[in-house]
Amino acid sequence: MYTNQTVIFKNKPVIIGSYSIVGPKEWKGNFGPYFNYVMKDDCFGEKSYEKAEMKMLKTAIVGAIEDAKIKASDVNLLLSGDLLNQIISSSYAARDFDFAFLGLFGACSTMAESMAVAASIIDGKEFDTIVCSTGSHFSTAERQFRFPLELGNQRPPTSQWTVTGAGACVISSKGVGPRITMATFGKVIDFGVNDVNDMGAAMAPAAMDTMLAHFRDTKTTPDDYDLIVTGDLGKLGSEILIDLMEDQGIKLGLNYNDCGQMYYTRNQNTFSGGSGCGCSATVLNSFIMKKLRSGEYKKVLFMPTGALMSTTATQQGETIPGVCHAIVLECDESVKNIKISQTSNRNVKNKKEEKTNRTSISKSNEKNIKSNRLN
């Protein structure tokens, strides 16, 4: 079923496997302990950064399939995309696998885009098992979209650091794991920003538009989610989104955050934070997925954003349009029931302890009263 921009999945496709791989700088950030694999250096044993990015994607895909405990022959389709021209990292990675490939480009929103498309296909019972993946590399993105690394250009305070990393997940019609219950497909929104070093400002309006559409279509509010997380708006962009939503009468609380803003520590000198396809992909397939599997998060609104720009369009004076796709992830019912049971048991235990404490306090008071009377 769908309402305007949102699809509500009847069969609720399940994420049965996930994997994340990052570079050494990313490992030193705030999510370091959650990643599956950390490269020794950004070259990953290859002769170029582009080849390293391809290898990262292959590693993530294989890792997700192994985590799902299935064979590669069980996979029906691979959905993948990246930031490079003609999505070469995804296309070249796909040639090493013997399953169908559908290439996507949503810039940094690709992780949610691929998962939303996969969930729609599986919910329609066209395929049973689909792998979704995306990634980015600081050095490949810098020399394609900005300047050659050798120039050593100064970075303005609004700039962000493209994450070197890749993430992948396996989505299936059956199994145990977090479920995709809804997907909101975003519109292309352009507020006239043309600064390639200010992606957060360019993408924030698209995030606002998709978030408003999601709340409208699903009749939910920010309070219905344990976590609402955008992809890579960074420090400045996430602040702009909060202001834009407040102008629309919706206040985002402490359950809202941004992957790019959270990714690196303050002393890593990334200015406004992380960006790139790998930013939200690695956070989702490590930190968020583990929280959902444990039941710590029961319902998450994951909505990465993408700047649909190219060097050619930028050099010709074009502005930067943005897009944002959103998916709702919910922990497995069995995990929910366990958590409810544990909470109930803790409440019973607390009540018993409270009753015991009251009894002991009461007896102690009686002794004190008797003692005072004797004295």
Query: 178 and 226 share a domain?
Result: yes
Whether 152 shows a pLDDT value over 80: the answer reads no
pLDDT of residue 315: 86
Average per-residue pLDDT in the chain? 90
Query: Is the CA virtual torsion 146, 149, 151, 152 positive or negative?
Result: positive
Residues 167 and 275 in one domain: yes
Residue 264 predicted with pLDDT over 70: yes
Mean pLDDT over 348-369 rounds to: 45
In this structure, the answer to whether residues 358 and 260 fall within a common structural domain is no
pLDDT in tens, 61-92: 999 999 999 999 999 999 999 999 999 999 99
Out of 180-189, 242-251, 253-262, 351-360, which region has the weakest mean confidence (pLDDT)? Answer: 351-360
**Domain match, 140 and 60 both:** yes
Q: What is the pLDDT of residue 135?
A: 98
Residue 368 lies in a domain: no
Whether 80 maps to a domain, the answer reads yes
- The reply to whether 160 and 254 lie within a common domain is yes
**What confidence tens digit (pLDDT) does each residue in 280-332 have?**
999 999 999 999 999 999 999 999 999 999 889 988 999 999 999 999 999 99
Of residues 146 and 4, more confidently modeled = 4
pLDDT tens for each residue of 9-53: 999 999 999 999 999 999 999 999 999 999 999 999 999 999 999
Task: Tell me which residue range forms the domain holding 128.
Answer: 2-331
- Asked if residue 375 is part of any domain, the answer here is no
Specify whether 353 is located in the same domain as 208: no
Assess whether 351 and 307 both reside in one domain.
no
Q: How confident is the model at residue 373 (pLDDT cuts 50, 70, 90)?
A: very low
Contacts of 311 (CB under 8 A, 6+ apart): 144, 145
Query: Averaged over 328-346, what is the pLDDT?
Result: 69
Claim to verify: residue 317 and residue 358 sit in the same structural domain: no
* Two structure tokens written together for 123: 């919910």
Classify residue 109: in a domain, yes or no.
yes
Please indicate, yes or no, whether residues 325 and 342 belong to a single structural domain of this protein: no
Q: How many domains does the chain have?
A: 2
Same domain? For 341 and 208 the reply is no
pLDDT at 344: 47
Q: What average pLDDT does the segment 337-362 reach?
A: 49
Domain of 173, CATH number, reads: 3.40.47.40
Whole-model pTM over 0.85: yes
Q: With pLDDT > 70 as the criterion, what percentage of the chain qualifies?
A: 89
